[in-house]
Structure 1
Amino acid sequence: MASSDETLEEFFPKYNPPIRAHKHTCVGLGMEVMKRLKVLEKDFPGNYVEWHERETRSSVLKERLSLVYVARAYLTAVAVTEKRNLVWDLRSLLARDPKGRLSAGIYFPLKLKDQQFTMFFDNNNGKQRKKLKFDTFLELQKIPDEVVDEVEQCNDQLRLRDGELLSVLKKLATIMADQEYMAELLQVNDRIVQLSAGN
């Protein structure tokens, strides 16, 4: 238990969880976060806790700052992971196989121009990877049949209800087309990156 005069940095020293590419699961990390945040909620009141991440791939260090929302009770390990990604410039909806490998999904960066996403799934011809523009999904009746078929295949592999992925893509297309909202979202993200640059 943290004492009341202990600083956040003293209580929450640089945390280096044992995450390996072949063993990482969000559940273990989420459980560890839950244990630490429960004490922080009492000793460090407020709605958010800063979460500093360091990721090294091929000797390239990438640092990120996320905000963890702690004002409400803990729900699930996935909820904690989602809350710490309040503002993030890469969004995804993914499915994994029993071994943890990506099997299907969509992902896309948040940007003002040239808004597109990548959709991947398996079909009779093997792995498929398609880049599609969001504006294709603004009017559902104008989507080419071939694209609808591919979205339905991905939908099934994501284990969503019939038509759910198409509905999600329509909503995303509408959001991404709102230039004012997107500009504000990207501005908030840039500000967080600037604030975390010196830390």
Structure 2
Amino acid sequence: MSLLVVGSVAFDSVKTPFGEADDVLGGSATYFATSASYFTDVRLVAVVGEDFPDKHVNFLKMRNIDVRGLERAEGKTFRWKGQYGYALNEAETLDTQLNVFESFRPDIPDQYKDSQVVFLANIDPDLQRDVLRQVDNPKLVAADTMNFWIEGKRESLMETLKLVDILLINDGEARQLTGEHNLVKAARAI
């Protein structure tokens, strides 16, 4: 089985009640691809900047993640800074620098177009649909989204969700997406 992961590879700076880390390898595509690599072959499509060190690319390769779809663009890598309280499912974003990610337009390599499973990490829903147009009939499609897209691109997101088999969101996003406070009702609405 082949798994295509498309999304962000970033530098994250995170503060929690338990510790703090600055400019560590992050991004939704990184986290998903790394986790999935324990179970299957992963093909990654993302963009990084000139400041992205080879040690991070090597980390992905050591996990047997196919990085032929990792584009290195002129400019800086996407950066996110946030903090968590004791409710670790609720992040407060302190700073977002899209950098090269702002103009990211996923171009799926020919070798990836036969991917049977696709994970659309947290990116613009228009781009998520564009990715699906480039893949030859995947058997399973999963997607992630966030409050930013739910609020700012709701109509586009709803079009994307019609093409998705599995949606990964937290409780706050489920409530925002459906307008239902009761999570059971929200799940049914989704």
Do the structures match in fold with TM over 0.5? no
Q: Give the TM-score normalised by structure 1.
A: 0.23
Q: More helix per residue: 1 or 2?
A: 1
> Which protein has greater RCO, CA pairs closer than 8 Å, 6+ apart?
2
Q: Give the TM-score normalised by structure 2.
A: 0.24
Q: More strand per residue: 1 or 2?
A: 2
